[in-house]
Chain A
Amino acid sequence: MSEMPLLQVKNLHTSFFTDAGEVKAVNGISYNLDAGKVLGIVGESGSGKSVSAYSVLRILTDTGRVTEGEVLFKGENILEYTEAQMQKFRGSRISIIFQDPMTCLNPTFSIGSQLREAIQIHTDRNKEEVQARALEMLQLVGVNEPEKRLKQYPHELSGGMRQRVMIAMALACEPDILIADEPTTALDVTIQAQILELMQDLQKKMGMAIIMITHDLGVIADMCDEIIVMYGGKVCERGTADEIFYNPRHEYTKGLIRSIPRISEKHERLVPISGSPVDLLNLPKGCAFASRCDRAMKICLEQPPEEVVVNDFHIAACWNNVKQMMEEAKDGENA
């Protein structure tokens, strides 16, 4: 047996209980994250990628609840923590940065006071040490004129700068895991490149693991060791970046990859996925993707697919893989 993974998510289910009914946002996802690795979770709006991460940190809105499953951090189930324990846990062990730094920073407090607060909560440093650490963090994330910035307010900074401040706050207590929820979606391409470069840099320096949540396959390809593709609150497939991009084994992943324009010699027509995303209020009985899938079989409509091991680095939940394996086994027998 290998060492215990840093984070184990087991059969996690999360629902939102709304007036319209139960919205099943996450429907049984499982994954492991090892220390120092970058895990990408990719999917479209409503795929449950963000909710799965919020469930881990227990920062769901009032109507949301984890209905089943376990989240083990170094072997301890953090879903059983009290709220007080959880407050200690967030920020110091696992922290998070969001898509829109403007809504996450308090507009009425200076950058310095927000940064100092984040440090104070989790450490017993004295005032000078806290101030020094705040300054050090701003320097680390490449904010120019850090002394001046500490006195400024969020509105005085650009979007890229604000995201750097968010990263500084998230990393101030040296967490083991950083969850990045669409950290560059609101930013321009050149600023996005700066932030991605910074995250890679900090990851090397500080050695934390990252869970990168994004809809952008480019960002995923750039950053991640391992990738989870989500659809309708479920894991379609999970594998190393190379496996997912060069050997996709779920029709949804294949469709996503065919949908992105590429730079190529001759003009190739895109192959979109037909139809529209699944309704989380009325999840189908079988595979969530079946209604949009070209290769859907009868069983796909009736029974949700089980996760099948493709190889050591790759797991996929699609009935077509099972079919293929059975056919191969049959051929083997006949031969």
Chain B
Amino acid sequence: MSEQKHLVDVRGLKEYFSVGSGVLNKLELKAVDDVSFTIDEGETLGLVGESGCGKTTVGRTLLYLYKPTAGEVYFDGRLVTEKNVSEFRKDMQIVFQDPYSSLNPRMTVSDIIGEPLDIHKLYSTKKERAERIAELLTLVGLNSEHANRYAHEFSGGQRQRIGIARALAVNPRFIVCDEPVSALDVSIQAQIINTFEDLQQKLGIAYLFIAHDLLVVQHMSKRIAVMYLGRIVEIGPAKDIIESPIHPYTESLISAIPMPDPETARHKHRIILEGDVPSPLHMPKGCPFRTRCRYATKECEESRPELREIAPERFVACHHR
């Protein structure tokens, strides 16, 4: 495993936030707790889970937008640290969920896309800068006339394209896509998904594709990682995860997808999970999923299951599988 060179290699990543005030009220929120995965050049890893499971925090921490509490991130074989992270910024970029709040309303499109070019000094003449911006706009399906307009003049889908163009400006090799289509209507969502796919094919970019919509994630990804309460509970090839989930959580998650097909819907058996996700401030001891799991036993209460490889490339964290 370790000899193989991965583009992104995350090992034992932890991100704890301290919440509450004062000395006595201080609580530790384990948003990400010991997460490891790899992503190869030009590959897409899907990351799914429900709200509060830590999937967004994983994306941000691995980019050092938050300082990790523990763990290492290797990019192209080199260890990323707080000191040298600026050297990696050109290679690792992010596209955010909300195309409204992630674009500065006082900047024109060319300012927004030009900013990374300015910061990384990626042009020598003004003309070159303008050409590059026009090129980027065309690449994401907008046209160069859009450059002098402001973000509010665009629809949600177009704004997301601007966000993508900004990420692409520095020719990254890896992009964290944090719920990039969740805020969009179905017909627009499909346009943006295709844009991501085209760019990957053309430019060979690797994606960490974070989303809660399993249909979108399985469409985009080669492999999928499923998170629950700060941990990865299952990781493996997308097709296998969807067709034969192993972890009880993945199993119910997949059975819960409303299928856009009346015939499937009629014959489907939903595995309904009892109750809600526990608060990450009061994490259950042992397996974090045991409070909602129908297979839970004493063992699950006592010790936390580690990720084990139970079939080639498939890792599951469950005592009973």
| A positions within 8 Å CB-CB of B | 44-45, 144, 158, 160-161, 188-194, 196-197, 215-222, 241-242, 245-246, 255-263, 267, 269-274, 276-277
Contacts and interface: CB of A to CB of B under 8 A. Distances in A.
Interface of B is mostly: helix
A273 B218 CA distance: 21
Interface of A is mostly: helix
A260 B219 CA distance: 10
A256 B155 CA distance: 18
B24 interface: no
A190 B50 CA distance: 8
A196 B256 CA distance: 10
Given A273-B190, A276-B157, A261 B216 contact: yes
Contacts of A276: 155, 157-158, 188
A191 B215 contact: no
Contact of B218 (A160, A263, A269): A263
A196 B258 CA distance: 10
A222 B212 contact: no
A221 B261 contact: yes
B188 A189 contact: no
Nearest to B261: A221
Given A262-B219, A272-B188, A276-B155, 16 more contacts: A144-B275, A188-B51, A189-B256, A192-B258, A193-B272, A194-B273, A196-B258, A216-B258, A218-B257, A218-B265, A241-B262, A256-B187, A259-B189, A261-B215, A272-B187, A272-B194
Shortest Cβ-Cβ A-B pairs, 10 listed: A218-B258, A261-B219, A272-B190, A193-B256, A259-B190, A188-B50, A273-B187, A217-B260, A44-B185, A272-B191
A215 B212 contact: no
Contacts of B272: 190, 193-194, 197
B120 to A, nearest CB: 32
A190 B259 CA distance: 14
Given A190-B253, A256-B187, A221 B158 contact: no
A264 to B, nearest CB: 9
B186 A160 contact: no
Contacts of B185: 44-45, 215, 277
B61 interface: no
Contacts of A190: 50, 252-253, 256, 272-273
Nearest to B242: A263
A197 B270 contact: yes
Interface size class, chain B: 35 or more
B282 to A, nearest CB: 14
Contacts of A261: 190, 193, 215-216, 218-220
A236 to B, nearest CB: 13
B197 interface: yes
A44 B216 contact: no
B187 to A, nearest CB: 4
B98 to A, nearest CB: 15
B214 interface: yes
B82 interface: no
B194 A269 contact: yes
Contact of B215 (A245, A262, A267): A262
A220 B218 CA distance: 21
A215 B186 contact: yes
A192 B262 contact: no
Contacts of A44: 185-187
B197 A193 contact: no
A257 B257 CA distance: 16
B276 interface: yes
11 contacts: A190-B273, A193-B255, A218-B265, A259-B186, A260-B186, A261-B219, A263-B215, A272-B188, A272-B194, A273-B187, A277-B185
Contacts of A215: 185-186
Contacts of A191: 50, 276
Given A196-B258, A217-B260, A276-B155, A270 B219 contact: yes
B62 to A, nearest CB: 23
A255 B265 CA distance: 21
A222 B214 contact: no
Interface in B252-294: 252-253, 255-265, 270, 272-273, 275-277
Nearest to B48: A189
A191 to B, nearest CB: 7
Interface string B188-227: 1111011001000000000000001011101110000000
B253 A217 contact: no
A93 B67 CA distance: 56
Contacts of A270: 190, 193-194, 219
B39 to A, nearest CB: 18
Contacts of A158: 276
Given A188-B51, A261-B216, A255 B262 contact: no
